[in-house]
């Protein structure tokens, strides 16, 4: 499977929300590999980029979690949440990222949202040596207008 394209490192704050070009170039390939856009805070809606990874052995999941923490340090970007769960049959690692000081350029306000920092972080995470191999692609077609309207509605509810 081809490697994901990684966005250039973003400098400065606040970071603008994704543009349509950014979403088509960097977000859609992530969505094709199992990442999802979710509402992460019901009481103060915020868009996040989330994924669950499954491992057969707990030590492999632990190594992956450790690698994620090192990536956080090198990128100066941390996930909204990172959870690891072990059961008798398998282990899972769940992660969600969002940018807390993102810039909604239409309203010219700083509020949480998905930015190039998040899609870069997700693509780099997928390339970690400890990351599980994506066995299959999920056909995902992004409707930019619908995506943009949803995250803007969440941001307005949260302000």
User: Does residue 60 lie within any of the structural domains?
Assistant: yes
User: Within a domain: residue 138?
Assistant: yes
Query: Given a cut of 90, is residue 52 above it in pLDDT?
Result: yes
Give the per-residue pLDDT at 41.
Answer: 75
Question: Do 98 and 40 form a contact (C-beta atoms < 8 A)?
Answer: yes
CATH number of the domain encompassing residue 105: 3.30.1360.20
For the ranges 59-63, 72-76, 153-157, the lowest mean pLDDT is seen at 153-157
pLDDT digits (tens, 9 = 90+) for 81-128: 899 999 888 999 999 999 988 998 888 999 889 999 999 999 999 989
pLDDT of residue 93: 96
Q: How far apart are CA 36 and CA 42, in angstroms?
A: 16
0.85 surpassed by pTM? yes
Instruction: Judge whether 51 lies within some domain.
Output: yes
Rounded distance, CA 104 to CA 114, Å? 10
Can you give the residue range of the structural domain that contains 121? 15-158
User: Quick check: 55 and 104 in contact, CB under 8 A?
Assistant: no
Tokens 């940018």 identify what position? 99
For 158, phi then psi, to 5°, come to -80, -15
**Out of 42-46, 91-95, 138-142, 147-151, which region has the weakest mean confidence (pLDDT)?**
138-142
Is 23 contained in some domain? yes
Structural domain contains residue 2: no
Note whether residue 9 is domain-resident: no
Within-domain flag for 1: no
- For 1-32, the pLDDT digits (tens) are 567 899 999 988 899 999 999 999 999 999 98
Residue 5 lies in a domain: no
**Total domains present in the chain:** 1
């Amino acid at each position: 499977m081809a490697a994901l394209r990684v966005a250039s490192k973003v400098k400065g704050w606040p970071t603008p929300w994704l543009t349509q070009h950014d979403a088509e170039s960097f977000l859609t390939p992530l969505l094709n590999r199992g990442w999802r856009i979710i509402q992460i805070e019901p009481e103060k809606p915020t868009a996040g980029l989330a994924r669950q990874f499954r491992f057969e052995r707990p030590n492999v999941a632990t190594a992956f979690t450790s690698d994620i923490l090192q990536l956080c340090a090198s990128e100066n970007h941390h996930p909204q949440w990172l959870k690891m769960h072990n059961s008798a049959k398998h282990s899972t690692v769940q992660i969600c990222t969002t940018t807390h000081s993102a810039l909604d350029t239409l309203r010219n306000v700083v509020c949480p949202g998905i930015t190039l920092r998040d899609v870069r972080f997700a693509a780099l995470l997928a390339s970690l040596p400890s990351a599980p191999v994506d066995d299959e692609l999920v056909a995902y077609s992004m409707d930019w207008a619908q995506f943009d309207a949803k995250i803007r509605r969440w941001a307005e509810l949260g302000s």
